[in-house]
Amino acid sequence: MLHATLAAGFQQHLIPQDRQRFQPHIVVQNKVDAETARRTLPEVQAVSLVEPHAVGFTLWRYLGGPWERLSDYPFDPTRLR
């Protein structure tokens, strides 16, 4: 519900990629070559899975390459790092 509310509020600013159905996921290896992925796969598979949970969200601004962290919005302020 939070995602839908945010998407509706930012609808005019979203690119087509960001208008797609929300599919939360975790990226383990991003932009690694195939050999690195094959070599490290056993290590990734050995990690015990836990049920993920959201503790809040962070607002970032894209600066044409790097990103600038603007604000943190914890769901429970006592859990903010």
Domain boundaries, the chain: 2-79
**Is the pTM of the predicted complex or chain greater than 0.85?**
no
Residue 4 parent element (H or E) = helix 2-10
Which residue reads 């945010």 in tokens?
6
pLDDT for position 48: 87
pLDDT for position 79: 58
Q: How is residue 51 written in tokens?
A: 């049920």
As a whole number of angstroms, the distance between CA 47 and CA 45 comes to 6
As a whole number of angstroms, the distance between CA 56 and CA 18 comes to 19
Question: 41, 24, 23: which is closest to 32 by C-alpha?
Answer: 41
Q: How is residue 3 written in tokens?
A: 């995602």
Q: How confident is residue 55, by pLDDT bands cut at 50, 70 and 90?
A: confident
Q: What is the mean pLDDT of the chain?
A: 88
Q: Is the pLDDT of residue 67 over 90?
A: yes
